[in-house]
Each structure stands twice: as C-alpha cells, then as structure tokens.
Amino acid sequence: MIEFKNVSKTFNAKEGDVHAVKDVNLSIPDGKIYGIVGYSGAGKSTIIRMLNGLEFPTTGSVTINGSEISSLKGKDLRNQRLKIGMVFQHFNLLWSRTVLENIEFPLEIAKVSKNERKEKAQKLIELVGLEGRENAYPSELSGGQKQRVGIARALANDPEILLSDEATSALDPQTTDEVLDLMVDINKKLNLTVVVITHEMHVIRKICDHVAVLDAGKIVEEGPVLDVFKNPQQAITKRFVNQETSSASLDDTTVVVSELLDKYPNGLIIRLTFHGDQAKLPIVSEMLRQFPDVDLSIIEGNIHQTQEGALGSLYIQLLSDHHDSLDGAIEYFNTMRVETEVIKRG
Amino acid sequence: MGNTTGFASYFKLSNVNWPDMGSATWETIWMTVVSIIVVAILGALLGLLLFETSSSNSILVKILNWVVAAFVNVFRSIPFIILIVLLLPATQVIMGTIIGPSAALPSLIISAAPFYARLVELAFHEIDHGVIEAAEAMGATRWQIIFKVLLPESMPALVSGITVTSISLIGYTAMAGAIGAGGLGNLAYLDGFQASNNAVTLVATVIIVLIVFVFQYLGDFAVKHIDKR
C-alpha cells in the first residue's frame, strides 16, 4: 500500500516559487496498476519521483507499506530503492554495457554474486522476450527492445513496486501496445504494484485498474478506470476520455451533427455509452423493434478494451414524428443500463 | 662541422650521431609516457572532484569547488616555458636535480594535469543525466555511480582527452629539452641549432612527428574499440 498524505512540493525558481504538487492525497493498493494522467507540467513526474526519493515533498508524507520514504536518508533510502524498480521514457540504459550487463547492473549495486547475477539476468531476458540479444549493445536495439531491457532491469532486484515514468511515450503505437501488454503480464505474473504516469489516456485505458487525473499539481478526479471513462466529472477528464474514446476527432463529429441537424431539424442526437457485456448485446436493434416509427442514423461509434471489460460509445441520430417514441427510446436505453447523453434535440 | 646554408644541409645525414638520436628518442618517449600515466590519474581525480563538487548547495563544497577550479585555471594559464623556470627550485627539491629527463616530469605533469582535469569534467557532464539518475533510483552509492556509470560511460571521451593531452605533452617535452631536460628537443637545440647541424634538427623533427602519429593512432584505435554508442 502506497500512501500520499497532504503532499505538496514547491520548487524555488528564479522567477519565483513553483507549486508543482498541491495537497495530494492518494492511496494505491497492492498488486494493482495505478495510473496518473495529466498534461506535461501537471506534476506527474514529481509525484512518481517522490516514491523512490528522487524528490522529497516540501510538506506531507509518502509512505510505502508503512515506512515513510520521504524521511529516509543515506543507506536506508538506498535499501528502500532496491525494492522499487523504475522504467524511464528515454530508457536510460548504459550504452557501454550489453543487454545482459545492463540487467545485471542493479544486481551489482545490490552486491549479488556473479553467478547468481548471470542466472537471474538470463531469466529476466526470457521474461521480457529478448532471448538471443543478450550480447547486443543498446545502440543495436530498437526502441521497444530497449524498453524491454529497461523493464527487465527494473525487475532485477525483485521489487515490490514498479514505477513507469512515461515508459511508452517515446515508442510508436504498435511497440507501445507490446510494451503495455508486457507490463500487464508482469503485473499478473509477479503480483507487483505498478504506478504508471502518462499523458496518454490510451495507456490508462489499456492497462490500469485505477486512475487519478492530475491538473496543475492537484488531483481533480480519481477512481476505477471504467468508472472514470463511463462518467467523467471534470472538464479535463472529459477531454482525456474523448481523446481516447472518439476515434474520429471531436470536430469531425460536430460537423456531421450539424449537417444532420440541417437536414433533419427534428432529429434527436444522443451519445450511448456501453460497457462490459452490454457492448455485445443487440440493444439498438431491439430498441428499433420496440419503437417501429423511429428511424436511426449512425454518426460515429467505437469500442475499446479496458482491464475491466469492453467500453463502447455510439453517436446516433433518432428521427420520429412522435416525441413520445423518442422519449421512450431513451427510456428503453436507460432500462438496459446503457448511459445516454442527449447532445442535441432538434 | 655542419653547413648552415642551403637546403642540402638538411640532408647531410652523415652528420647525425645515430646512437645519440636513439637515446634522445627513448628519453622523449619515457618522459611522455611517465607523465601521461601520472597526468591521467591526477587529472581524472581533479576532474572528478570538479564534477562532484559542481552542483552542491553546501557552502563548504562550493568553496572546495572554487579552490580546485582556481588551481586548475591558474596552472592552465601559465605558459609552459615560464612554468619550467618557475618550478626549478621545486624540481630541485622533489627530484634532486634540474637536469635530465626526470627533472622535466614535475613541470610536465603540473601543466598537463589541470588541462586534462577540465576535459575529464567536461566528459562527465556530457553523460546523460537520466542514466545517473537511473543508477540513483536503483540504490547505487556515490562510489558505485563513479565506477559503474561515470567512468565507463565517459571512457571514449576520457581516452580521446588523454590522446590530445599526450600530444601536447610531446610538444612540451621538446620545450623542456631546450633548457636541459634531455630528449629530442634537447638534441635538436644543442646539436642541431647551436652546432648548426640542420640534419639533426630535421631527423629529430621527423621522429617527433612519428611519435605524435603513433599516439594519435593508438588513441583513435582505442576509442573506436570501446565506443559502443
């Protein structure tokens, strides 16, 4: 269990004080993948770096399983750091060492014997799928392979916690997904707590159980990923969710909506949000059977997989001469536990 | 005696005393190699000290950094020929003599070590800070970071730095030779210039150029071999 209690961090810069983190309270349960999402400059990095003492809070406390990391120094801090692995955006591998030697590096720091180091590193190479590349230098690897080395290195000392500082932000989409799959795999296999910071909602959606949204140093929203995606409260969260759930850009959708309204001024445009098993049921066609006078055109739709099941959204226009039927249709969706949001009523 | 006029005087190789030339060559190589070894160690230590004290908030560390930096800057600014003269009394005390190859060592080392220290500091600053931070995040001690990150990651720059330093050291040995330190510079000055024997000067020059080439080649070869970037 990781706990942030009333954590604030102020940097003294020449231009005046910068409040990077403001009164953050968080508890991160063991064995989960916890995501912190925010735009650059929101304070994500500062927060994650407090977990291994690369930064210290100005006020408040950060505790891991009861021991207060924010008050550790010297040898105690170094011993605590051995139990926390970290993966970096720019990999931060030693170019002078081979893949195998890079993975052995944290074991050398922990003073593990040479034979044991070799054996352990070899196992980790298999875990991250880099067999045959043991003796390659980082400069000979692709970005995705480098990050695999980064992950293996972070796992070398059997950490309790894995920190991911924008680990996929320098990778292409295909490689990002491979690395994310690996992280989920590791979380399940080794049952370790993973803290992920990112500016990409895609990462949160794909691997996280919980998410916190950070804006200007404050946590503005927090909860299970599916809840936050289904029902974002804050404007910034909505923006993040839209970034991910609408495949077409929001502008495109708006253009189509206004065109449809021009053509059929009486139409009702709604957004449906499906989650879990509902996404697999023929709810829309069932609605049409129940209200035969309703016509329907689809504006935009998509479906995404999250750690807790599928999540789909669908923009549709409903046309009918009877207002009652339209209201009935919405009512029907609601009873089927599909969330509806009326975008425009003609 | 030699003839001081005409291009032909350069090629009167019969005027060259080859055994003298051989021993002068060895003296030059000996002075260069011994001072390089000491300069590499001393310069690396000074450079490390400069690097490690460069970003601290502690006032004592800041003072230490200032003192080391001042020492480095002062000795780097003194022209070598003046430094030798300046150090004559100290050389007498340390080496017991002011004549011969070993007498050249203190001034060679004191002039080249600060120069190399700056190159070392620069090489450490060139290392990606993220890599050092990654080591810190793994729980590395300062010494582990020095030996496992700073030194290996900056090795190509350290080696090319020592190559550059050794080439200027070869030049310095010749200068030191002119005022009695032995070696090819000494030979070129006494037998070549003062005895008007241009062939000796030319041969000594060619040998020095060859020594420089060999050092450059060895340095480049080593860098190529260790640089895996």
* Gap between the Cα atoms of B46 and B43, Å rounded: 5
Whether A88 sits inside 8 A of B130 (CB atoms) is: yes
Does residue A109 have a pLDDT over 90?
Answer: yes
A77: nearest CA partner in chain B: B139
Which of A95, A97, A112 to mutate to test binding with chain B, by most B CBs within 10 Å of its CB?
A95
| Contacts A105 to B, Cβ<8 Å | 135, 138, 148
Asked if A125 and A99 count as a contact pair (C-beta separation under 8 A), the reply is yes
Choose among B136, B140, B228: nearest Cβ to A95: B228
Query: What's the pLDDT tens digit per position in A145-191?
Result: 999 999 999 999 999 999 999 999 988 988 999 999 999 999 999 99
Q: Is B95 exposed, middle or buried (0-12, 13-18, 19+ CB in 10 A)?
A: middle
Q: Please indicate, yes or no, if residue B191 is contained in any of the structural domains.
A: no
Give this complex's ipTM: 0.84
pLDDT band at residue B1 using 50, 70 and 90 as cut-offs:
very low
Mean pLDDT of B36-56: 93
Reference B149, options A177, A92, A10, A341; nearest CA is A92
Those residues of chain A whose CB sits closer than 8 Å to some CB in chain B are 52, 54, 77-82, 84, 86, 88, 90, 92-97, 105-106, 108-110, 137-139, 157
Does residue A301 have a pLDDT over 50?
Answer: yes
Share of chain B above pLDDT 90, in %: 59
Choose among A80, A109, A139: nearest Cβ to B140: A109
Task: Provide the domain limits for residue B155.
Answer: 26-181
DSSP for B86-145, please give it. Answer: HTHHHHHHHHS-SSSHHHHHHHHHHHHHHHHHHHHHHHHHHS-HHHHHHHHHTT--HHHH
Q: Is B144 on the interface with A (CB under 8 A)?
A: yes
Whether A157 sits inside 8 A of B138 (CB atoms) is: yes
Whether A108 sits inside 8 A of B148 (CB atoms) is: yes
Q: Please indicate, yes or no, if residue B9 is contained in any of the structural domains.
A: no
Contacts of A292 (CB under 8 A, 6+ apart): none
Q: How does the average pLDDT of chain A come out, rounded?
A: 89
Does residue B202 have a pLDDT over 80?
Answer: yes
Query: What's the pLDDT tens digit per position in B3-17?
Result: 556 788 888 888 788
Predicted local confidence at residue B146, as pLDDT:
96
Q: Please indicate, yes or no, if residue B80 is contained in any of the structural domains.
A: yes
Does residue A246 have a pLDDT over 70?
Answer: no
Q: Please indicate, yes or no, if residue B40 is contained in any of the structural domains.
A: yes
Q: How does the average pLDDT of chain B come out, rounded?
A: 90
Predicted local confidence at residue A346, as pLDDT:
63
A166 shares its domain with A128? yes
| Contacts A88 to B, Cβ<8 Å | 130, 134
A240 shares its domain with A262? no
Query: What's the pLDDT tens digit per position in B173-184?
Result: 988 887 788 888
Whether A54 sits inside 8 A of B140 (CB atoms) is: no
Domain count, chain B: 1
DSSP one-letter code for A138: G
pLDDT band at residue A40 using 50, 70 and 90 as cut-offs:
confident
Choose among A81, A95, A108: nearest Cβ to B137: A81
Does residue B2 have a pLDDT over 50?
Answer: no
CATH of the domain at A148: 3.40.50.300
B131: nearest CA partner in chain A: A92
CATH of the domain at B128: 1.10.3720.10
Give the gap in angstroms from C-alpha B51 to the nearest C-alpha of chain A: 19
A157 shares its domain with A305? no
Share of chain A above pLDDT 90, in %: 53
Strands, E, within A307-338: which ranges? 309-319
Give pTM, 2 decimals. Answer: 0.81
Which of B136, B138, B155 to mutate to test binding with chain A, by most A CBs within 10 Å of its CB?
B138
Reference A36, options A234, A265, A203, A273; nearest CA is A203
* Gap between the Cα atoms of B24 and B173, Å rounded: 11
A233 shares its domain with A278? no
Whether B148 sits inside 8 A of A105 (CB atoms) is: yes
* Gap between the Cα atoms of B148 and A123, Å rounded: 23
Segment among A39-53, A309-323, B3-17, B209-223 with least mean pLDDT: B3-17
CB burial readout A124-151, b (16+ within 10 A) else e: bbebbebeebeebbbeebebbbbbbbbb
Strands, E, within A102-245: which ranges? 161-165, 193-198, 210-215, 218-224
Predicted local confidence at residue A141, as pLDDT:
94
Whether B136 sits inside 8 A of A54 (CB atoms) is: yes
Choose among B137, B226, B229: nearest Cβ to A52: B137
Q: Please indicate, yes or no, if residue B142 is contained in any of the structural domains.
A: yes
Domain count, chain A: 2
Choose among A86, A94, A138: nearest Cβ to B137: A86
A76: nearest CA partner in chain B: B139
A114 shares its domain with A189? yes
Instruction: Name residue A332's amino acid.
Output: Y
Whether B139 sits inside 8 A of A92 (CB atoms) is: no
Whether B138 sits inside 8 A of A96 (CB atoms) is: no
Query: What's the pLDDT tens digit per position in A182-219?
Result: 999 999 999 999 999 999 988 998 999 999 999 999 99
A234 shares its domain with A257? no
A84 shares its domain with A184? yes
Interface A-B, measured as beta-carbon pairs within 8 A, has a size of 64
A195, A217, A244: which is the final residue of a domain? Answer: A244
| Contacts A110 to B, Cβ<8 Å | 139
Q: Is B145 on the interface with A (CB under 8 A)?
A: no
Query: What's the pLDDT tens digit per position in A249-270?
Result: 556 667 777 777 777 777 788 8
Whether A96 sits inside 8 A of B153 (CB atoms) is: yes
Query: What's the pLDDT tens digit per position in B141-168?
Result: 999 999 999 999 999 999 999 999 999 9
Query: What's the pLDDT tens digit per position in A69-93?
Result: 888 888 999 999 999 999 999 999 9
Mean pLDDT of A114-124: 94
* Gap between the Cα atoms of A255 and A265, Å rounded: 15
Q: Please indicate, yes or no, if residue B192 is contained in any of the structural domains.
A: no
Sign, CA torsion A240/A245/A251/A255 = negative
Q: Is B135 on the interface with A (CB under 8 A)?
A: yes
Cα-based angle B97, B103, B104 (whole degrees, multiple of 5) = 160
Residue, of A139 and A268, whose pLDDT is higher: A139
Q: Please indicate, yes or no, if residue B143 is contained in any of the structural domains.
A: yes
Task: Provide the domain limits for residue A88.
Answer: 2-244
Predicted local confidence at residue A345, as pLDDT:
75
A182, A215, A244: which is the final residue of a domain? Answer: A244
CATH of the domain at A258: 3.30.70.260
Q: Is B139 on the interface with A (CB under 8 A)?
A: yes
Whether A157 sits inside 8 A of B229 (CB atoms) is: no
Predicted local confidence at residue B4, as pLDDT:
57
Give the gap in angstroms from C-alpha A109 to the nearest C-alpha of chain B: 6
Give the gap in angstroms from C-alpha B54 to the nearest C-alpha of chain A: 19
A184, A213, A244: which is the final residue of a domain? Answer: A244
